[in-house]
Amino acid sequence: MARPTPLSGFPEWLTDGRVVEQYVLDTLRRTFELHGFAGIETRAVEPLDQLLRKGETSKEVYVLRRLQEDADGEPAVDRSEKQLGLHFDLTVPFARYVLENAGRLAFPFKRYQIQKVWRGERPQDGRFREFVQADIDVVGAGELPYHYEVELPLAMAEALGALRDVGVPEVRILVNNRKVAEGFYRGLGLDDVEGVLRQVDKLDKIGPDAVAELLRAEQGATPEQAKGCLELAAISGEDVAVVERVRALAASYDAVTELLETGLGELAALIEAAARRAPGVVVADLKIARGLDYYTGSVYETVLVGHEQLGSICSGGRYDTLASDGKNTYPGVGLSIGVSRLVSRLLSAGLVTATRGVPTAVLVAVTDEAHRDRSDAVAAALRARGVPADVAPTAAKFGKQIKFADRRGIPFVWFPGQAEEDGTVGPDQVKDIRSGDQVDADAASWAPPAEDLFPRVVPAAAE
């Protein structure tokens, strides 16, 4: 086998990168659990017809085929079962899970889900084709109180904020409310709300003049209406004054509607609670549209401050119909972090690093192969007390064994006591190979400093 090369779009890390990724995942999981979200995992596949219900995503699906389908004498498409595809997000599988288990779940049901997803992008497009998402959602049966639209982004802000001290940049959660946009557009006399949102969503890419032109050409807006849409999209701010600015703008266009007022009330509640509970994190940004048409209330996007060109690393919103089985409807609100995109940026921009790529805190040296069992016993004693320990692969010269540790970033090397001429065995010693300090030690009681026990994730500059 010739040396293989990476597959474009399928990121993999060396062990130190994996330490960073695992730390991010563990931190998110811990925060989600502190907030009462229960963990679930769903299978990687869904029936293809379910994956294709949202037409716009159909181009991104990987379809599965059993290699031996034909060899088994079955038709190419196995009639005994629907065609299967890999899930491209965690929302479609969650909606299916809720319906499948509705009778056994307690609602409102809060869950987190951290899994890989796949998108069948063209390899030459350079996009991620496999990546990890971390989602939190709450779903109700029939109804879901508004306050969850405040709670969910704040829980996510806390999860991302818990990564600050290892060097992850500050995050800014940009929020908007579909009812505000829809109420305002309708007040202006624009009834193709989806169409207007779709054009406004292009603002960052093509600029206001081109959007105005599209609104006129494709949505049939008057210059006045297009101007109103752009003025709304230009409003942003951290405090509740934003709501007054929208209200004043709507009044100036005589476009105040009941729906607008409902939306502004919700937006104000979110901004106020966020300003109190997580100052500076949440910003109202009236141009946030979110492409997906199932959002019905709050919508969220999240940028890393200083890395805005990376785009949104965590998005979501409120949907009145996460799932429906015809009889019951399940409204939900949730957000999804693109963990791979985040970790990839942390590593490639050199923001965050791991103190080492192996868990081992202590390498136990081997004096000679006949006494390997002494070294094994030391390692076992350390492990029993929670200290990650490894034993040297061979009884090479101690200098070579120390080099083995050094190459892996293992901070301590342990030397089992040597037999003296009088037949007694000297004390064990442990060496901090960074400082060179070497002291007598007993495997039944010695422990490394807490900061050396496991690899830590730290701001790269601190290394």
112-171 positions binding a second copy, by CB under 8 A: 116, 118, 120-124, 130, 140, 145, 147-148, 151
**Coil, strand, or helix at residue 236?**
strand
Q: Per CB under 8 A, which region of 27-35, 178-186, 236-244, 283-291 contacts a second copy?
A: 27-35
Stretch 406-435: interaction string toward a second copy, x if CB under 8 A? -xx---------------------------
450 binds a second copy (CB under 8 A): no
Binds a second copy (CB under 8 A): choice among 24, 35, 229, 266:
35
Among 161, 189, 237, 359, binds a second copy (CB under 8 A): 359
**452 labeled binding residue:** no
- Candidates 64-72, 246-254, 301-309, 343-351: pick the segment binding a second copy (CB under 8 A): 64-72
Radius of gyration of the chain (CA): 28
Number of shown-chain residues binding a second copy (CB under 8 A)? 106
Least Cβ distance, residue 349 to a second copy (angstroms): 20
Q: Can you read off the two tokens belonging to residue 171?
A: 């995050």
The least CB distance from residue 389 to a second copy, in Å, is: 7
| Residue 23 interacting with a second copy (CB under 8 A) | no
Nearer of residues 144 and 289 to a second copy, judged by Cβ = 144
Q: Does 76 bind a second copy (CB under 8 A)?
A: no
Give least dist CB 73 to a second copy, A.
11
Query: Does 290 show up as a binding residue in the annotation?
Result: yes
Q: Decide if 154 contacts 269 (C-beta within 8 A).
A: no
CB nearer to a second copy: pick between 195 and 409 = 409
| Residue 29, marked binder | no
Which of these ranges, 110-118, 170-178, 182-190, 428-436, lies near a second copy under the rule CB under 8 A? 110-118
Buried b (16+ CB within 10 A) or exposed e, 305-329: eebeebebbbbbbbbbebbeeeeee
The residue within the footprint of a second copy, chosen from 376, 396, 398, 456 (CB under 8 A), is 376
Q: How far apart (Å, rounded) are the C-alpha atoms in residues 160 and 342?
A: 10
What's the Cα-to-Cα distance from 416 to each of 361, 378, 383, 390, 428, rounded to whole Å?
16, 8, 16, 13, 5
Least CB distance to a second copy at residue 128 (A): 11
Cβ count within 10 A of residue 33: 12
Smallest separation, CB 350 to a second copy (Å): 17
Report if residue 24 touches a second copy, rule: CB under 8 A. Answer: no
Instruction: Classify residue 60 by its DSSP letter.
Output: G
Q: Binding string, 264-293, against a second copy, x = CB under 8 A?
A: ---------x--xx----------------
The CB-of-190 to a second copy minimum distance in angstroms stands at 31
Candidate list 126, 220, 306, 393; residue touching a second copy; CB under 8 A: 393
User: 44 vs 349, which CB is nearer to a second copy?
Assistant: 44
Report the half-sphere exposure of 213 (CA within 13 A, side-chain side).
6
Cα 358 off chain centre by: 24
Stretch that binds a second copy, among 252-260, 299-307, 354-362, 427-435 (CB under 8 A): 354-362
Sign of the CA dihedral running 138, 336, 340, 52: positive
Tell me how far apart the alpha carbons of residues 224 and 227 are, in angstroms, rounded to a whole number. Answer: 5
Residues 303-332 touching a second copy, rule: CB under 8 A, are 323-326
Query: CB burial class (10 A; 0-12, 13-18, 19+) of residue 415?
Result: buried
340 contacts a second copy (rule: CB under 8 A): no
Name the helix (H) or strand (E) containing 237: strand 236-237
Binder among 211, 342, 391, 402 for a second copy (CB under 8 A): 391
Q: Reduced to 3 states, what is the DSSP secondary structure of residue 181?
A: helix
Question: Per the annotation, does 90 bind a ligand?
Answer: yes
Check whether 119 is labelled as a binding-site residue.
Answer: yes
Minimum Å gap between C-beta 441 and a second copy is 18
* Candidate list 70, 77, 100, 126; residue touching a second copy; CB under 8 A: 100
The token pair that represents 38 in the structure block: 């229960």
Residue 172, annotated as binding a ligand: no
Q: Tell me 180's DSSP state.
A: H
Residue with tokens 């061979």: 394
For 107, half-sphere exposure in the C-beta direction (CA atoms, 13 angstrom radius) is 18
97 in a known ligand binding site: no
409: nearest Cα among 346, 363, 448: 363
* Gap between the Cα atoms of 169 and 302, Å rounded: 12
Token pair belonging to 149: 């639209």
Nearest to 339 by CA among 4, 91, 18, 66: 18
Q: Output the known binding site for L-histidine.
A: 89-91, 119, 133, 137, 290, 294-295
